[in-house]
C-alpha cells in the first residue's frame, strides 16, 4: 500500500493534512448506486474517504451496462449494491466498503436510526416524499445530507444541513493581510529605520513596496489631519506622491508599490460578514458549543482587546521585489506578530473552554492556528429543510426566477423535477417511461406542473412549452454523461462539507444540459 503522503500528494496540496485526515475518518452512506451515485462515490473512494456503505435493493440489468461503469456483463442479475461495492473497492483498498441489499425508500420508512452511524448521506434518485423524510431523519441525527438526481439532460444537487461552518474557505480573491494602513509598533519601527532617500541605486531599487507604502502613508497622514486617502482625487494624489519618490523609470519596486497602493485605501477593522458571525446567537457559548463557536467567542474577545479592532494577523507575505535582508526581516516581523496573536487566541480559547466545562485541550493548536490565519474569511452556512422549501418556497425569489428569461430553463426544470414525482405517484410511471406516444403524458405533466405553480403562489406563470416534451422524452433515464457531471459536483460538495474547506453551494444547483447552463436557485 502506498504511503498516504505519496498516494494523495496532489490533493494534499489543495486541502492539506487536516482536510485529508477529515476525509479518512468520515463514513459515507450512498442511497441508490445507479450511475449518478456510483460516479459520486467513485470520486470519494479515489480521494481516500474512510468508509462507504451502499444501500440499493435492485439487481443489475442489461440497461445498466450502458450507463454505469461500475457494473459489467457478468454481474447481470446479481445484486447491484454488491457489484458496485466490489468495483469501488478495487479502486482504493484503503477504503472500507460495505453494502446493504435493501430498497432505500423502505429503509427510510422502517429503520430511520440506521442513518445515525454515518458522517454524511448521499441520496440519489429519490422521489420527493422520501427526500423530505430522509432530511428530517438526518437533521434529527445531526448527519449531513446531500441530495442528487440526474434525469435525462437535467439534474440537481442540494445540500441539507442545519449549519455548516467553514474556516479555510479559500476564496478566489482575497486582499493580502499586510496592515499597511494600520501598522503595529514593530512594523512601524522597522519601516522608520529604512531611508527612502538612500543614494545607492541598487539599494533604492530593492526597498520592498510594504516599506514604501507604509512610509508614504505616514507622510500623507501627517499632512491630512491623520487621515488616509478616501476620494478618487486623493488616491490619485497619493499615487503621485509615491511616484515622486522614484529616482529612475526602471524601479520595479516602485511600480509594485503603485499597483499595490489600493491596499492602503482598504477599510480597516473587520468585515460586516465577520461582525455578523461575532454577533450570532451561537457565539454565546455553552457546554454543547462546537469548536468553531468557541473560537468565535475567543475571536470576539481578541478583537475587543489585543486586536484593537482587528482579527489576528495571517502572518504570510506575498512575493515582492526586495533585497534578501529586507524581505527576511519583514517575514520575521509578520511571523512574530501572527504568532503573538495566535498565543493570545489560544489562551482565550482555553479560558472559554474551562468556563463552559469543556476540556481546555480539546481544540488542538493546529486548529486554532488555522482559525487565526483564516479569521477574515470565516463562513457560516445554514440551509432550509427540504420540507420548508417545498411547502413554502420564497415567493419573491420564485417570481424573480420565473420572470427572468435567463433563469427560465433552471426554474422550469426545478418545477418539473417535482412534477414528475407527482406524475409517478398518480400514474405509477414517470412521463414517457414506456413505449408509445408521449403527447398524453406531456399534457398530464403540464396540468400537474401548473397545479404545483399555483400551490407555490405563482398563478399565471407558464413554463417553456418544449420543457414538457423534453421531460417526457427523457423517460426518467440516467444518461451517463449527465450522471457523471452531477456525481462529480456531488462529490465536490461532500468534500467541502467534510473537510470544512471552501464554501458549499447554497440553494439548489440545477444543470440544464439543453442550454448548457448551470445555475443555483435559492428558494
Length of the chain: 523
Residue 399's pLDDT is 93
**Rounded mean pLDDT, 356-360:** 94
- Is the pLDDT assigned to residue 306 strictly greater than 60? yes
pLDDT reported for residue 449: 95
pLDDT given for residue 438 in this prediction? 83
CA dist., res. 261 & res. 248, Å (int):
19
Cα→Cα distances 254→91, 186, 196, 359, Å: 53, 23, 11, 51
How many other C-beta atoms are found inside a 10 Å radius of the C-beta of residue 298?
27
Q: C-alpha angle 304/308/314, rounded to 5°?
A: 105
Q: What percent of the chain has pLDDT over 90?
A: 90
Max CA-CA distance within the chain?
89
Q: What is the pLDDT of residues 40-57, one digit of tens each?
A: 999 999 999 999 999 999
| CA 470 and chain centroid, separation | 32
Burial code (b: 16+ CB inside 10 Å, e: under 16) for 253-262 equals bbbbbbebbe
Neighbours of 434 (CB within 10 A): 9
Distance in angstroms (rounded) separating the CA atoms of residues 330 and 350: 30
Phi, psi of 123 (to 5 degrees): -110, 115
Interval 68-80: pLDDT, tens = 999 999 999 999 9
Residue 78: predicted pLDDT: 96
Is residue 288 within 8 A of residue 220, CB to CB? The reply is: no
Percentage of residues in the chain having pLDDT higher than 70: 99
Nearest to 208 by CA among 253, 143, 275, 150: 253
Q: pLDDT tens-digit profile of 404-421? A: 999 999 999 999 999 999
Domains of the chain: 4-169+479-521 (3.40.50.720), 185-264 (no CATH), 272-382 (no CATH), 386-474 (no CATH)
C-alpha grid cell, residue 144: 449531513
Per residue in 190-212, pLDDT tens?
999 999 998 899 999 999 999 99
Q: Is the pLDDT of residue 340 over 90?
A: yes
Rounded CA-CA distance 82/251 in Å is 67
Q: What's the number of CA atoms in the CB half-sphere (13 Å) around residue 169?
A: 20
Residue 304 pLDDT greater than 80, yes or no:
yes
Query: How high is the mean pLDDT of the chain?
Result: 94
Averaged over 98-123, what is the pLDDT?
Answer: 97
pLDDT at position 13 is: 85
Long-range Cβ contact pairs of 233-241 (< 8 A, separation 24 or more): 235/261, 235/262, 235/265, 238/264, 238/265, 241/216
- Residues 13, 33: Cα–Cα separation, whole Å: 30
> 3-state class of 291 per DSSP?
helix
In the numeric block, the cell 493581510 is attached to 177
Q: Tens digits of per-residue pLDDT, 271-296?
A: 999 999 999 999 999 999 999 999 99
The predicted structure's pLDDT at residue 1: 42
Q: What is the pLDDT of residue 4?
A: 62
- Give SS3 for 10: helix
Instruction: Check whether 67 has a pLDDT greater than 70.
Output: yes
Average pLDDT over residues 24-33: 97
58 torsion bin: left (phi>0), alpha (psi -120 to 50), beta (else): beta
Q: Are 521 and 389 in contact (CB under 8 A)?
A: no
Predicted confidence (pLDDT) per residue in 329-338, tens digit: 999 999 999 9
Report H helices in 25-115. 35-46, 80-91, 104-110
DSSP letter, residue 285 = -
What pLDDT does residue 518 have?
A: 96
In angstroms, the Cα distances linking 336 to 123, 184, 204, 214, 311 are 47, 11, 26, 19, 15
Q: What share of the chain is helix, strand, coil (3-state, %, to 5)?
A: 55, 10, 35
List 164's β-bridge partners, or say none.
381
Q: How confident is the model at residue 17 (pLDDT cuts 50, 70, 90)?
A: confident
C-alpha cell at 375: 479569521
The gap from C-alpha 297 to its chain's centroid, in whole angstroms, comes to 23
Are the CB atoms for 490 and 121 separated by under 8 Å?
no
Angle between helices 408-427 and 395-403 (to 10 degrees): 110
Q: What is the pLDDT of residue 173?
A: 84
Summarised one tens digit per residue, pLDDT across range 426-483 is: 999 999 988 777 889 999 999 999 999 999 998 888 899 999 999 999 999 999 999 9
Q: What was the pLDDT predicted at 5?
A: 66
No. of helices (H) and no. of strands (E), the chain: 22, 10
Amino acid at each position: 500500500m502506498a504511503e498516504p503522503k505519496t498516494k494523495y500528494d496532489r490533493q494534499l496540496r489543495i486541502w492539506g493534512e487536516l482536510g485529508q485526515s477529515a476525509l479518512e475518518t468520515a463514513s459515507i452512506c450512498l442511497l441508490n448506486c445507479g450511475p449518478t451515485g456510483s460516479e459520486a462515490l467513485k470520486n470519494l473512494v479515489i480521494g481516500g474517504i474512510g468508509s462507504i456503505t451502499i444501500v440499493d435493493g435492485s439487481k443489475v440489468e442489461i440497461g445498466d451496462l450502458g450507463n454505469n461503469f461500475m457494473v459489467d456483463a457478468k454481474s447481470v442479475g446479481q445484486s447491484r449494491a454488491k457489484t458496485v461495492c466490489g468495483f469501488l473497492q478495487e479502486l482504493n483498498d484503503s477504503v472500507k466498503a460495505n453494502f446493504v441489499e435493501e430498497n432505500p425508500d423502505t429503509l427510510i420508512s422502517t429503520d430511520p436510526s440506521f442513518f445515525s452511524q454515518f458522517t454524511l448521506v448521499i441520496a440519489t434518485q429519490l422521489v420527493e416524499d422520501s427526500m423530505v423524510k430522509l432530511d428530517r431523519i438526518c437533521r434529527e441525527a445531526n448527519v449531513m445530507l446531500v441530495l442528487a438526481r440526474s434525469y435525462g439532460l437535467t439534474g440537481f444537487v442540494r445540500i441539507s444541513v442545519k449549519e455548516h461552518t467553514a474556516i479555510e474557505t479559500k476564496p478566489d480573491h482575497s486582499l493580502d493581510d499586510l496592515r499597511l494602513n494600520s501598522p503595529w509598533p514593530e512594523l512601524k519601527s522597522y519601516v522608520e529605520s529604512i531611508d527612502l532617500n538612500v543614494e545607492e541605486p541598487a539599494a533604492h531599487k530593492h526597498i520592498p513596496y510594504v516599506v514604501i507604502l507604509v512610509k508614504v502613508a505616514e507622510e500623507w497622514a501627517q499632512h491630512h489631519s491623520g487621515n488616509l486617502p478616501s476620494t478618487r482625487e486623493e488616491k490619485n494624489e497619493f499615487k503621485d506622491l509615491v511616484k515622486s519618490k522614484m529616482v529612475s523609470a526602471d524601479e520595479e519596486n516602485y511600480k509594485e508599490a503603485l499597483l499595490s497602493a489600493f491596499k492602503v485605501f482598504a477599510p480597516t477593522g473587520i468585515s460586516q460578514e465577520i461582525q455578523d458571525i461575532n454577533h450570532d446567537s451561537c457565539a454565546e457559548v455553552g457546554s454543547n458549543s462546537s469548536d468553531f463557536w468557541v473560537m468565535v467567542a475567543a475571536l470576539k474577545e481578541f478583537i475587543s482587546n489585543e486586536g484593537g479592532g482587528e482579527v489576528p494577523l495571517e502572518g504570510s507575505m506575498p512575493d515582492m521585489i526586495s533585497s534578501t535582508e529586507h524581505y527576511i526581516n519583514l517575514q520575521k516581523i509578520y511571523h512574530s506578530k501572527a504568532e503573538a496573536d495566535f498565543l493570545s487566541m489560544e489562551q482565550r480559547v482555553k479560558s472559554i473552554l474551562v468556563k463552559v466545562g469543556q476540556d481546555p485541550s480539546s481544540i488542538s493548536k493546529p486548529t486554532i492556528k488555522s482559525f487565526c490565519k483564516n479569521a477574515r474569511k470565516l463562513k457560516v452556512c445554514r440551509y432550509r429543510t427540504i420540507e420548508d422549501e417545498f411547502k413554502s418556497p420564497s415567493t419573491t425569489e420564485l417570481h424573480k426566477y420565473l420572470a427572468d428569461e435567463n433563469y427560465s430553463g433552471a426554474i422550469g426544470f426545478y418545477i418539473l423535477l417535482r412534477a414528475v414525482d407527482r406524475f409517478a405517484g398518480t400514474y405509477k410511471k414517470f412521463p414517457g417511461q414506456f413505449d408509445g406516444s408521449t403527447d398524453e403524458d406531456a399534457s398530464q405533466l403540464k396540468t400537474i406542473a401548473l397545479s404545483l405553480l399555483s400551490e407555490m403562489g405563482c398563478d399565471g406563470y407558464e413554463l417553456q412549452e418544449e420543457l414538457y416534451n423534453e421531460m417526457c422524452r427523457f423517460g426518467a433515464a440516467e444518461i451517463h454523461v449527465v450522471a457523471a457531471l452531477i456525481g462529480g459536483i456531488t462529490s465536490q460538495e461532500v468534500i467541502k462539507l467534510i473537510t470544512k474547506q471552501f464554501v458549499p453551494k447554497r440553494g439548489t444547483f440545477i444543470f440544464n444540459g439543453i442550454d448548457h447552463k448551470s445555475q443555483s436557485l435559492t428558494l
